[in-house]
Structure formats: C-alpha cells, structure tokens
Structure 1
Amino acid sequence: METWNKSRIDQMILDKVEENLNLDYKAANALDRGESKKKEIVKDVSSFANSAGGVIIYGVSENQDSDKRHFAERIDPVQREQFSKEALDQVIQTIQPRINGVRIHVVSISETQCCYVVDIPKSETAHMARDGRYYKRHEFTAIAMEEYEVRDVYNRRTHPKIEASFHIFRDSFRGRIIFKIKNTSKVIAKNGVIILEVPSTLVSPITIDGVDTIVHDDDNRHYWYLELPFENLYPGLEKTLFRNFDYVERISINGPRGANVESREFLKIQIFADEMPFISKEVPVLNLTSSWINI
C-alpha cells in the first residue's frame, strides 16, 4: 500500500487530481469541536462507507474558481493542538453502527501542523449519521439515500459479491477463454454461473467444449451462447474457469427466410450467484486484447 506523506499530497495538487466518488478534500476549518462540524464529519465518513469506500483528506483546500471547483488548490494544514487525531477518531466512532477498518493517517506538515487522511472501506452494512439519516456519495458530495438504497446496503452481508476478470488466448488453431473469479464477501457463493455471448467473428466458426449453441438476437445478429457454472466459492477464495475452442472452416449462417445474418460486434458477459445482483458487461471486439480485462 502506498504511504501517505506530504510529497504524495503535493503531487496530487500538482497533477490536479479532482475530487470524485472515492476522494474528497476538506480544508482545515472542516474540523472543529462544534456540534455542526461533527455532524458533517459523521455524514461524510458514513457516506463513503455506504458507497464504495474512499479517502477524505482533511487539510487540503479546494480551488474556489467556478471552473476549477473540486480540484485541490493548496495544503491548508490542521493545527494539531486544536484538533488531534484522537479527537477525529472519537467523532468517527459515534457513527452507528461503527465502521470496521477505518484508518487515519497523519501527514506531518510541521511540528504543530498536519493533514489527516481518513481511509474508509466499503462497508457490509448501512451506517446512520447523527441526524438519523443515511447518506451516500454522489459525484462530489454526500446525499441522503432512498429507502430502497438503504435496504440494498443492508443486504450486502446476506449475499456474495463476485469480482471477475477474463482473458482470451488464441493461436492459429486453438483458443481458450479464461475467467478468474473471487468472492470478496463474507458469504459463500453456493451456486453461480457465467453466461457468455461470444460474437461469431471472434471465435467463429468454432466448436466449443461441451457447447454448440448458436443464437440469433432481435437484430438478426448471431453469437455463440455458453455457460460456465461454479459452486461453493468460499469467502476470499478464487477460482479459474475456462472453455477451449477450435477453429474450423468458415460456415455460412442464414437467418429467417434465408436472410443474411451478421455477427454481433461485442462480447457480452453476465455473472449470477445466489441472491447477488447480477453483473453484466459488454466488450466491443475491437477492445479485446491479450491482457486481462476486469468485469
């Protein structure tokens, strides 16, 4: 993990790194012992945990020009005596329920000044702010969550979460589609499947291990359909799935009433596992390379 220090923050300012869903800059006056500022701290930190996690840097001011908003302008250091790391941690610990894994990095600017970098993980449950509401990150700010969004966050701990990447290896006569999947949740993925819709121009005409199904979509474009099932993927574990394919002589495929049917120009991937919201990705054929692609 890259270390947080003054040089790193200086480089972010120089590189004009903009605030985003996972990054927020806060000037020194955002830290105060007043109740209103504490409420803002709790709201901001909980919004990251309720979303995808991220980093809040206290002690960096934003540019005030309208066309440069959300860019870091300069280091605006926190006075250690006025607001210590312990004081910040005490405020964060008032979030209900507590967020596991929050880390506060102290970046020294001088003997009496510093920046606090708060590293917040994505949580497996929803966290409530002091006003009794739940917040999420939206672009550059924290906004209140809808009821269904809160339910979805609570459900993170009841279903698995799968992260996946794939790679296509081909030579003159033989090829292989390889998937790496990982269960990043604390729940077993008991039953899952990767569904592939492979453009015929990518691997066609072909024979695929165990599958010879060709499908026409509503636009009369054809593709090969295959499934890669998996089961009992335990928390933190990875699994590799693959299918081989062979090139054969080109065939002609006709659609309804003999109409010419063209191939799709994208590879479509869907991943299902128990009650997890399904994952879907379309990758244009032209974007496929020999490197691994995240889904």
Structure 2
Amino acid sequence: MDLVEYFAAIDENEINRLVKDKQEENIHIEFKTVVHPTIPKEDKEADKRNYSKCLSGFANSSGGLVIWGIHAEKDSDKIDCAKKTSPIRELSLFLNKLNTLEGQATTPKIKGVKHKKIDIGNDTGFVVTFIPESETGPHMANFADKYYYKRNGDSFFRAEHYDIVDMFSRKSKPKLDLKIGKIDSHTWSGDKLLRYEILFSIINNGNGIAKHPYVALKLSKGYTQSTFGVNGNGQTGLKRISNNQSFDINYSGGQDIVIFPNSSIDVDKISGIFQDQKGPTDLIVDYIIYAEGMETKKGRKKISREKLMNS
C-alpha cells in the first residue's frame, strides 16, 4: 500500500492500532500533538512551526504523512514511537487553520497537499496531512527559521548546501503516466461479435524531457494487443519488444523518441472481441512505466463494461 492509498484508508481504528503497536516514526510518518486551541503564550507558534517544517521536510524528500493528535516518545532504541492519543479539540477549526496556513508555510507553495479529518465525536479527533514529494522544490520553511528541511529516518534535518543543490536538480525530471484514450467499437461476423479498439498513450506530467520511455502492460482476460496499431496499418508509437515476461505486452522508445513536458505520445491499441449478446467485460490494465531520470511507476487503469458499451 503506497502513501496515497494509506492516506485514503486511515481511520479511527488505524489510529488506535498505531498506538497499540507503538508504531515507530519513519521516513514517511510523523506524529504530532496539537497545542491549539488552549495555547500557552510561549508556545503559540508551535503548530505553525511544526506544520511549516513538516511541509518542507517531506516535500523536499520522498513525501509523507503527518498524523496530528498522537503523542510520540522515544523507545529503548531512541526512536520516536506512538505512545498515546491526544485528540484535537475544535477539530474543524484546526483543519481550517492548516488550510489557511498552507500557502504561507513554505516558499514556493507545495502542490497536492491534502488533509483528512477523523472525527470521533463532538468535533474532537485527529487530522492526517498528506504531503507529496515535490518536483517544484526545494521548499523553504517560512515559519521554521526560513530553513530548508529534509527527512532522514524518523526526523527532519536542516538541509546542507549539497542537499539544496540536489533538490534543485530534481525540478527537471520527467513524470510519466498511462492514459486511456479513444474507444472504437464495431460489429462483425454477421453482427454476432463486437470488437473494441482502445487507444492508450503515455503522458509526461513532469518538468523534464522523458528519454528512452518504456511501458509494459498486463491485460485482463478477453483483451490483447491490437493487430492494427495506432493508425490501422500496424504502426505503433513505441517499438514492441518482449523483454519482460511478467507482462503481456512491452514497448520501448529508442534514442530518437522523447516526450516533452505536458505532452503525450500515442503508443498502441488494446483489442477485445466479445459476443454481441453478452457484451464486453471490464478492461483492467496493470502497468509499469519508466524513462531515464525517473523512478519506475506502477499503476492500474480500469474501464468499466458500461463505459465500453456506451462508447
């Protein structure tokens, strides 16, 4: 389960499990208590400072979750672990505070930050903040002495000069994903069969040029690689190869194939043939995708039977 999936799944039961199991903080998880709304004068900036540091540190590293409302203490190995819950009062007000501070807490602002409220009654509970790895950093923590932070193990550290140089270099990385496009359907063999042809593409949502792109697909039962290619004559946007036997079809781009930022390339079509009376099944595509300068991305796309039938 990746960070996005865990963020979506976390609930009150999971909060209690974290405490029961004495979950250790790690490179992706940070526990924080909240001094809002009853704040001693000397600590009135604590939440603001913590939020700013967490945003900077996680975004400048590989992303993470801040779980607000859990008290952490060091264990025998001197690693912070969940000790007890400390539910937040005036939960909605605290969530609003986080949303208000988000654009002010770092320079530049981090895209894709999400908050999730876990209300256990009477506007009391927990907030989980998802902070993605950023491609527009490095990000300075405006409310934490205007330093750049990074995540290392279970702690945030001020970034050294060489760290900041490395963070700037990440701004020019490609970020590829699979895109399901146009769906064509027609009957044949005396109108007894339905053929579906589904175009798929690679899109570059990053800030760097994608060189040597590679994609491999595993298709659900009933679907296969089209024999017609992208334009009906068998041609494909990337070369068909067979180097990964764990997947049904593999494609690779040579030195002459690049995908520029905010652009895409049509790769091929997926074909499915079904009896007209029964209609198609859901199309599920498990895939991996890669290019020079980016980590391998794994994902799944699904097109429902209803969407195919209405195409």
TM-score, normalised to structure 1, is: 0.56
Label 1:69 to 1:151 Cα distance change in 2 as closer, same or farther (>3 A).
closer
Q: Determine which of 3, 19, 26 is the counterpart of 2:9.
A: 3
Q: Which residue of 1 aligns with 2:32?
A: 26
Q: Distance in 1 between matches of 2:166 and 2:115?
A: 28
| Contact 1:160–1:187 (CA under 8 A) maintained in structure 2 | yes
Q: Distance in 1 between matches of 2:46 and 2:53?
A: 11
Q: Which residue of 2 aligns with 1:13?
A: 19
Q: Which residue of 1 aligns with 2:246?
A: none
Residue 19 (structure 1) shift: 1.3
Q: Distance in 1 between matches of 2:68 and 2:152?
A: 19
Label 1:183 to 1:134 Cα distance change in 2 as closer, same or farther (>3 A).
farther
Tell whether 2:258 aligns with 1:232: yes
Q: Distance in 2 between matches of 1:49 and 1:191?
A: 25
Q: Determine which of 40, 52, 55 is the counterpart of 1:45.
A: 55
> What secondary structure, in the 3-state scheme, does the structure 1 residue paired with 2:169 have?
helix
Q: Which runs of 5+ in 1 are unaligned?
A: 164-181, 195-209, 211-226, 241-270, 281-295
Q: Deviations over 1:133-178 (max 9, x none)?
A: 1001011111011223222222323232579xxxxxxxxxxxxxxx
| Contact 2:91–2:126 (CA under 8 A) maintained in structure 1 | no
> What secondary structure, in the 3-state scheme, does the structure 2 residue paired with 1:72 have?
strand
Q: Which residue of 2 aligns with 1:139?
A: 153
Count of residue pairs brought into register by the alignment? 203
Matched to 2:149, the amino acid is Y
Tell whether 2:206 aligns with 1:192: no
| Contact 1:108–1:115 (CA under 8 A) maintained in structure 2 | yes
Q: Distance in 1 between matches of 2:71 and 2:204?
A: 35
Label 1:184 to 1:55 Cα distance change in 2 as closer, same or farther (>3 A).
farther
Tell whether 2:128 aligns with 1:107: no
Q: Which residue of 1 aligns with 2:173?
A: 159
Residue 237 (structure 1) shift: 6.5
Q: Distance in 1 between matches of 2:166 and 2:205?
A: 14
Q: Which runs of 5+ in 2 are unaligned?
A: 178-201, 215-240, 242-251, 268-289, 297-311
Q: Distance in 1 between matches of 2:71 and 2:263?
A: 38
> What secondary structure, in the 3-state scheme, does the structure 1 residue paired with 2:116 have?
strand
Q: Deviations over 1:214-255 (max 9, x none)?
A: xxxxxxxxxxxxx98352245697999xxxxxxxxxxxxxxx
| Contact 2:28–2:62 (CA under 8 A) maintained in structure 1 | yes
Q: Distance in 1 between matches of 2:92 and 2:36?
A: 12
Q: Determine which of 74, 96, 100 is the counterpart of 2:84.
A: 74
| Contact 1:53–1:121 (CA under 8 A) maintained in structure 2 | yes
TM-score, normalised to structure 2, is: 0.54
Q: Which residue of 1 aligns with 2:217?
A: none
Residue 22 (structure 1) shift: 0.7
